[in-house]
């Protein structure tokens, strides 16, 4: 950790790039579990986060451009894990927040945000803090 700004050092950052296809999501589930374990998350917290990352990816894959790349960035900050998944989409719409999938994400990950870039890349960011109760960041 940097001394002054609270931003993660380069060693606290992992980026995974893979084809935007469901067949590759097991790689992200495994990476999520391994990184959460490094932060001493409980087994339940690890499983919640694995499911949340899987759900975020599933939302993105529904509208991802065929043959594109899904990018997942993990940032380890103190006792928190920030996960951002992004993919270029056909329509550039952020996920609806009043859906069951969004409710699941919020319940499992705590803090959830979605953004859309000018090039129609949609990103979903999850923030899970170790020891937070269900639905808490």
Tokens 């945000």: give the residue: 113
The whole-angstrom distance between residue 33's C-alpha and the CA centroid of its chain comes to 12
Reply yes or no on whether the pLDDT at 5 is more than 50. no
Spatial CA neighbour of 71 closest among 51, 85, 50, 55: 85
pLDDT at 12: 87
Q: Which residues contact 44 (CB under 8 A, 6 or more apart)?
A: none
pLDDT at 101: 87
Spatial CA neighbour of 132 closest among 19, 59, 35, 48: 48
Reply yes or no on whether the pLDDT at 7 is more than 80. no
Q: Model confidence over 99-126: pLDDT tens digits?
A: 898 998 999 998 999 999 999 999 999 9
pLDDT at 125: 97
Rounded Cα distance, 70 and 10, in Å: 21
Rounded Cα distance, 6 and 56, in Å: 26
Q: List phi, psi (to 5°) of 16.
A: -120, 130
Q: Model confidence over 20-66: pLDDT tens digits?
A: 999 999 999 999 999 999 999 999 999 999 999 999 999 999 999 99
Q: Model confidence over 59-97: pLDDT tens digits?
A: 999 999 999 999 999 999 988 999 999 999 999 999 999
- In sequence order, the β-bridge partners of residue 124 are 85, 114
Domains of the chain: 12-129 (3.30.565.10)
8 Å CB contact between 128 and 49: yes
- Whole-model pTM: value is 0.86
């Amino acid at each position: 950790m940097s001394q002054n700004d609270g931003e993660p050092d380069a060693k606290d950052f992992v980026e995974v790039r893979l084809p935007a296809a469901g067949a590759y999501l097991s790689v992200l589930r495994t990476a999520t579990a391994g990184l959460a374990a490094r932060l001493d998350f409980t087994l339940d917290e690890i499983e919640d986060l694995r499911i949340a990352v899987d759900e975020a990816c599933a939302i993105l894959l529904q509208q991802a451009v065929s043959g594109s790349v899904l990018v997942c960035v993990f940032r380890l900050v103190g006792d928190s894990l920030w996960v951002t998944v992004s993919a270029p989409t056909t329509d550039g719409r952020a996920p609806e927040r009043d859906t069951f999938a969004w409710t699941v994400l919020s319940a499992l990950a705590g803090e959830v945000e979605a953004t859309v870039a000018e090039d129609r890349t949609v990103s979903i960011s999850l923030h899970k803090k170790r020891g937070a109760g269900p639905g808490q960041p």
